[in-house]
Amino acid sequence: MKETDVIIDHISRWREALGFISDEGQFYDYLCKALQCFPDEGAVPLGNKGAKALVSAYTPGKKETLWEAHRKYYDLQFLVSGQERIGWAPLKGLTEEIPYDEEKDIAFYRGTGDFFLFRKEYFILLSPDEGHQPGLFTPGQTPVKKIVIKIPVAHIR
């Protein structure tokens, strides 16, 4: 994957878009089950290689804010229901505002980027080279059910 690539797609095209991720089939199966029966909120380990699913339900209400980025994990965000806006920007074009916290694996940045309408059954893969702003308000906002799969960098081929 190149530094400037962003992958946003529908779950029906999962394998074509994400076949380069080791254990992607396990992540796909988990998300398909979540579409049938949404799991309890919280963190769920996925396999034995350090991947985990963060399950949440909320109503997006944020306006544009600081960008966030992670170093140890890729974020694979998936909307089970609802919609929200999500921002994306190459990290090299952002300015660090709050330094990296190794324990929480997060740093915050200022700058500009692109914004997308993120809808039910779509996913976005965010790399450590990319900043993002999840959970942004859209007109006619409805509650969101979302799963973020935290994928250790070593899983990406």
- pLDDT on residue 138: 87
**Number of domains comprising the chain:** 1
| Residues of the chain above pLDDT 70, percent | 97
Tell me: pLDDT of 8 over 70: yes
- pLDDT on residue 116: 92
Each residue's pLDDT tens digit, 25-39: 889 898 989 988 888
Between the alpha carbon of residue 153 and those of residues 70, 74, 129, 149, 156, the distances in Å are 10, 6, 11, 12, 6
Q: Which residues on neighbouring strands pair with residue 98, listed in sequence order?
A: 108
Please indicate, yes or no, if residue 2 is contained in any of the structural domains. Answer: no
- pLDDT on residue 117: 93
Q: Which of 147, 149, 133, 17 is nearest to 82 (CA)?
A: 147
Each residue's pLDDT tens digit, 74-96: 999 999 999 999 999 999 999 99
> Quick one: DSSP state of residue 39?
P
Q: Which of 141, 15, 155 is nearest to 82 (CA)?
A: 141
Is the pLDDT higher at 126 or at 63? 126
Domain encompassing residue 96: 7-155
Is the pLDDT higher at 3 or at 89? 89
**CATH label of the domain that carries residue 75:** 2.60.120.370
Please indicate, yes or no, if residue 28 is contained in any of the structural domains. Answer: yes
